[in-house]
C-alpha cells in the first residue's frame, strides 16, 4: 500500500479542521497537529494557509459528483438525485459543519482572493451543470420557462446552500431535504 505524502495528509486534515473551525479560527499548528506533521513541513508544501485553503476548495469542487445529472431520467428526477447526493455528501462529513463551499464563502473576506475565486468558480461550475439539465427539462416541457435556466440553476444552488446553513445550526438535515423538494416543485412547468 502506497504511503500517504505529508502534503496529502495536510490537505486531508486541513479540510476537516477548516470545516470544524472555519478559516479564521484554524491555525497552521492545528492542521499540522491533526496531520501528525511538524509545523515546519507545512511551509515545504504551502506558502500560506490561504494557499492551502484554495487548494482544498479546488479539490472539493473537483470531487463533486455530477453523474445524477447525466442520466436518461426526466430532468426533475435528475436534479432531485443530484441535490440529494450533495446533501448526503454533507451529511457524511457532518451536517453540523455544513458545506465546505458555504464555510469558505462565509470566510472569503479573510481567507483571501484566491480562496474567494475558487469558491466562486466552484459554485459557477456547479450552477452551469445544473443549468444544462434545466435547459433539457425546459425543452421537454417539464420545467418552467418563465425564468432562464441559469437563473433557476443559481436558485437551486442557493436553496441548497441556505438549507445546509440552517441544517448546520440545527445539526439535522431533514428540513434541507424538504426544502429541495419545495424548490423542485417550484420549477415544474
**pLDDT tens digits, one per residue of 98-120:** 788 888 888 878 888 999 999 99
Specify the pLDDT at position 174.
82
pLDDT of residue 98: 79
Residue corresponding to grid cell 430532468: 75
* Listed residue (115, 81, 85, 113) closest to 101, CA to CA: 115
| CB atoms near residue 118 (< 10 Å) | 24
What is the per-residue pLDDT for 148?
98
The pLDDT of residue 127 is 97
Query: What are 143's strand-pairing partners?
Result: 188
Under 8 Å between Cβ of 139 and 84: no
The pLDDT of residue 79 is 98
* Average pLDDT for runs of 10 along the chain of length 189: 79 90 91 92 92 94 95 97 93 82 84 91 96 98 97 96 85 84 95
Amino acid at each position: 500500500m502506497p504511503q500517504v505524502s505529508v502534503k496529502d495528509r495536510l490537505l486531508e486534515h486541513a479540510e476537516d479542521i477548516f470545516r470544524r473551525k472555519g478559516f479564521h479560527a484554524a491555525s497552521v499548528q492545528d492542521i499540522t497537529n491533526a496531520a501528525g506533521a511538524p509545523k515546519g513541513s507545512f511551509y515545504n508544501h504551502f506558502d500560506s494557509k490561504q494557499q492551502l485553503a484554495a487548494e482544498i476548495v479546488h479539490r472539493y469542487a473537483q470531487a463533486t459528483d455530477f453523474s445524477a445529472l447525466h442520466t436518461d431520467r426526466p430532468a426533475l428526477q435528475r436534479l432531485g438525485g443530484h441535490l440529494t447526493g450533495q446533501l448526503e455528501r454533507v451529511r457524511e462529513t457532518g451536517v453540523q459543519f455544513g458545506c465546505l463551499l458555504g464555510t469558505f464563502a462565509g470566510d472569503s473576506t479573510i481567507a483571501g482572493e484566491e480562496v474567494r475565486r475558487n469558491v466562486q468558480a466552484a459554485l459557477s461550475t456547479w450552477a452551469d451543470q445544473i443549468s444544462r439539465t434545466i435547459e433539457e427539462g425546459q425543452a421537454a416541457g417539464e420545467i418552467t420557462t418563465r425564468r432562464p435556466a441559469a437563473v433557476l440553476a443559481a436558485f437551486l444552488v442557493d436553496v441548497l446552500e441556505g438549507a445546509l446553513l440552517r441544517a448546520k445550526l440545527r445539526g439535522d438535515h431533514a428540513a434541507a431535504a424538504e426544502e429541495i423538494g419545495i424548490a423542485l416543485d417550484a420549477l415544474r412547468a
